[in-house]
Homo-oligomer: A and B are copies of this chain.
């Protein structure tokens, strides 16, 4: 069989299975996830043996230490996967909810009912725990899932897939509901991305390169998350201690993630009071500062910021700083250079807070809080399957509900159209 035929067979099995999964009760789905958690933990030793094969191969290929660490399935991480499945089992089931039911003049009742998307493809890199995490969310929301991880985690992903499949089998559920694609053929992904009649959504999880590749080759809708160039704007009227705490948290608590602050905008009227203070604190925390001319006039040892800095997602201990003349200039800066991820205003001015919330249409807008809260768990979605910085279907962190859609249901008693 060609890789195209392989992928088509896989996608068709998933589509067939998705029809069964869509009608399962929450009880059955929860039991499945709990069973998967059990099976993962009891198969720990075998799983670690398979994981070790990936690790040995990675060492031969001289993989960087950080990546090697992400690849490793420690006992804690396996417990983490199992606990993650248990948590998702405990979340409310979005499927079946009827949101609105109204009566039309002719007597038909019209409602909207939440249903699973159908078949979801997850394309991801390196961390093998994504296999269990993503599978749990997709199955809980009544979908079938096709998982394609990176080649460096091949044995680990295959082993996790087998364990999860056994749980399906044990409950007499269709095997097509969860499939791990482990062919070494590099065309598997491009072939999968063509199957728009079988697969309803593709979620790529990984670096910008992976996301652009998937997005360009896919005929299937893709949830995109390119960059997080998050801004914090300190308004003219702001509690400067609070501003400092929020900025420090947003920049240094975990600089390598997409919801960390990359650019700080400061109103010129408080720049003299705030900038030297925050610059000292940032420097103490090891942050390299790149400032505009006005910022450098106050803190001369900042590196001059270039146009590229305003667009940059550093994911590192680097911060771009710009002094702005007004709220309007801050807004324009965000609209010009931002990535629609997360923007924060620190202000005590009611008008300014309301304008910021109303006028800045990034996926998450915050008043007086750290951008680090921009994450499905922190915002209260229960779990996060990913984050979308494009506006269709979902915008911002995505939870279980984002893996569903709504159909119309119509109840009549013989109505026909005149």
A380 at the interface (CB under 8 A from B): yes
Instruction: In the complex, identify which listed stretch (A58-66, A180-188, A213-221) lies at the interface while the others stay far away.
Output: A213-221
Q: Would you list which residues of chain A between 237 and 258 have a CB under 8 Å from chain B?
A: 239, 242, 245-246, 248-250, 253
A415 near B370: Cβ-Cβ < 8 Å: yes
Chain B residues with CB below 8 A from A390, complex form: 200, 221
Bound together, the chains give a CA A298 to CA B231 distance in angstroms of 72
Q: Is A110 an interface residue (CB 8 A)?
A: yes
Q: Are the CB atoms of A392 and B249 closer together than 8 Å?
A: no
> Contacting A397 at CB < 8 Å: which of B219, B408, B415?
B408
In the complex, chain A residues 348-393 whose Cβ is within 8 Å of any chain B Cβ: 357-359, 361-370, 372-374, 378-380, 390-393
Q: Does A27 contact B (CB under 8 A)?
A: no
Q: Are B246 and A414 in contact (CB under 8 A)?
A: yes
Residues of chain B within 8 A of A297, CB atoms compared:
none
Residue of B nearest to A357 (CB): B409
Write out the residue numbers on chain B whose beta carbons fall within 8 Å of the beta carbon of A110.
379-380
Contact across chains for A414 and B365 when beta carbons are under 8 A apart = no
CB distance from A109 to the nearest CB of B (A): 10
Q: How far is the CA of A274 from the CA of B248 in the complex (A)?
A: 75
Whether the pair B104, A380 counts as a contact (CB closer than 8 A) is yes
- A379: chain B residues within 8 A (beta carbon): 104, 110, 408, 410
Cα–Cα, bound, A359→B215 (Å): 31
Cα distance, A19 to B108, chains bound together (Å): 39
A301, chain B: closest CB distance, angstroms = 26
Do most interface residues of chain A lie in helix, strand or loop, or is the interface mixed?
mixed
Q: Which of A248-273 contact B (CB under 8 A)?
A: 248-250, 253
A362 B407 Cβ-Cβ under 8 A: yes
Q: Which B-chain residue is minimally distant from A110 (CB atoms)?
A: B379
Interface: A291 (CB within 8 A): no
Q: Given A221-B392, A392-B392, does the pair A113, B357 have CB atoms closer than 8 Å?
A: yes
Chain B CB count within 10 A is highest, among A117, A201, A219, A373, for A373
Nearest B residue to A99 via CB reads B99
User: Measured between C-beta atoms, what is the minimum distance from A21 to chain B in Å?
Assistant: 11
Known contacts A19-B335, A379-B104, A417-B249: A201-B361 contact under CB 8 Å: no
Given contacts A108-B373, A410-B367, contact A391 B405 (CB under 8 A): yes
Task: Answer whether A412 and B108 are a contact pair too, CB < 8 Å, given A118-B391, A391-B118, A392-B117.
Answer: no
Contacts of A366 in B (CB 8 A): 409-412
Collect the chain B residues with CB atoms within 8 Å of residue A397's CB: 408
14 contacts between A and B (CB under 8 A): A23-B359, A104-B379, A108-B369, A110-B380, A118-B391, A216-B219, A242-B413, A246-B416, A249-B417, A363-B407, A366-B410, A368-B412, A369-B416, A370-B415
